[in-house]
Amino acid sequence: MSMNEQQPDVQWVFPPEKNRTGRVWLIVALVAAVLLISGALAFFLIPRDGGPTPLPSGSPTPDASASATPLPTGSPLPTFAPPTGVPTAPATTPPEPQDPDVATFAGAVGPRLDDALTGLSILEGLVGQDAISVIDQLQQDVQRLSDTPAPSSIDSEWRAGVSSYDETLRGLRQAAADGTDLSGGISSARDAANHLRSIVGL
């Protein structure tokens, strides 16, 4: 081969450089996604002020009923004995009512017996409902005389006299309601009232 013959031109041919822009954007997107996920997890897991601390998943929640210690069934409750050495107050019985003397009793029932004689005198000039009103007042006085405890020495005689006086007033009221003459009933009631007065020495 002659020197004058033209030698071939040797050139280095490099493959075309690939486009790396898409790969960069993919990496940036992945990093952004990781940051967003991390931020979301931190938002839900970090406890807030005043709020309850979230429990880790899978951990059992406390049960209020299970935390209470059950009392053993059938066991007797403890009893407490009173302290020794402390004096106890003796049981007191109410005193028995004293038996009044006749003079004291006469002073208690005397005004009612005086009113009885006064009312019977007023009744002589009344008829109908006016007479019934006076008799009702006299019967209320009889109830008070019966409720007053009498001395034991005259108790039975006093109760019999009060019962007799009450019966005369009942008959007198019936006569006033019927519109009949009251003079006989007034005389009987006055005798009964005077008998009561004599029992107590008035």
Residue 4 domain flag: no
* Of 141 and 100, more confident: 141
- Tell me the per-residue pLDDT of 32-67, one tens digit each, with 9 for 90 and over: 887 888 777 777 666 655 555 555 544 455 454 444
Q: Is residue 147 one of the residues assigned to a domain?
A: yes
DSSP string, 45-65: HSPPTTSPPPPPTTPPPP-HH
With pLDDT > 70 as the criterion, what percentage of the chain qualifies? 62
Q: In the chain, how long is the greatest CA-to-CA distance?
A: 193
Q: What mean pLDDT, rounded, does the chain reach?
A: 76
> Is the pLDDT reported for residue 139 higher than 60?
yes
For the entire predicted model, the pTM comes to 0.52
How confident is the model over 124-134, as pLDDT tens digits?
888 889 999 99
User: Average pLDDT for residues 146-173, to the nearest whole number?
Assistant: 92
60 found inside a domain: no
Q: How far is CA 176 from the centre of its chain?
A: 52
pLDDT at 166: 94
Residue 31 lies in a domain: no
Q: Report the percentage of the chain scoring pLDDT > 90.
A: 37
Of the pLDDT bands very low, low, confident and very high (cuts 50, 70, 90), residue 24 is confident
Does residue 93 belong to any structural domain of this protein?
Answer: no
Q: Is the pLDDT of residue 181 over 70?
A: yes
Domain that holds residue 178: 102-199
Residue 6 lies in a domain: no
53 lies in some domain: no
- Write the CATH number for 153: 1.20.120
Which residue, among 98, 99, 112, 100, has the nearest Cα to 202 in the 3D structure? Answer: 112
Neighbours of 162 (CB within 10 A): 22
The pair of structure tokens assigned to 71 is 């009392």
Whether residue 29 lies inside any domain: the answer is: no
- 190 has a pLDDT exceeding 90: yes
pLDDT in tens, 84-114: 655 565 566 655 567 778 899 899 999 999 9
CA angle in degrees (0–180, nearest 5) for 59-61-66: 130
Q: Mean pLDDT check: name the lowest of 20-29, 89-98, 150-159.
A: 89-98
Residue 26 has pLDDT above 90, yes or no: no
**Number of folded domains in the chain?**
1
